[in-house]
Amino acid sequence: MKKKIAIIDYGLGNVLSAQQSFNKVIKEYNLSASTTITKDPNLIDSSTHVVLPGQGAFKSCMSGLEKVSGMVDSLEKFALKNKKPFLGICVGMQLLAIDSEENGKHLGLGWIKGHIKKMPTKKLKMPHMGWNEVIPKLKTKSRLDFKKSDYYFVHSYYFECDDEKNILAHTNYGINFASIVFKENIYGVQFHPEKSSDQGLGLIKSFISL
């Protein structure tokens, strides 16, 4: 069956960069898949995979998503009810949390129990920008395959999970923080796989294969 990958455009994610990286993987590995950038909630139901990019502030991203009529409901049906593969990138990952403390307290989607906290700033440059190692949790298994390697980050806040079981990998920058979170079919990565060389493309390939 041909995979249909919907990349959600709500005005606050680098959707073209995400699409280009997915298309590169599809072409390189001759995968039976296609990508669509969409603002149409009606296209979500017919998709096999959904990607939610995000950049900027948490509140702006959540507000942008809610302003697209019917989008949140369609995404919840896709991910929570139909349990199809879902990937949040950067702030798209953070939106999976219950809430965020960035510029006040703001509610997220609440799909994965946890809270978005500010990175400790003592003796550290902010934002956390550049290459850093993503280390898999050895006792945590999921269908998403990725390798221990350096990936590209740009962020000042991190996902503090209520349950350690939702952490698939961690990274150290002053503290150990969750760099990949997951719950069943739902995945979130704090880094940018589309900017992370071959290892990032490998993670994208694994996601398409889910």
From 61, 106, 115, 194, active-site residue = 194
194 is catalytic: yes
Q: Which of 90, 115, 128, 170 is catalytic?
A: 90
Q: How many CA within 13 A on the CB side of residue 127?
A: 16
Contact 13, 52 (CB under 8 A): yes
Active-site residue identified among 49, 106, 128, 192: 192
Q: In the annotation, is 192 catalytic?
A: yes
**How far is the C-alpha of 25 from the C-alpha of 23, rounded, in Å?**
5
Nearest to 168 by CA among 52, 195, 159: 159
Specify whether the CB–CB gap between 47 and 35 falls below 8 A: no
Instruction: Give me the active site residues, please.
Output: 90, 192, 194
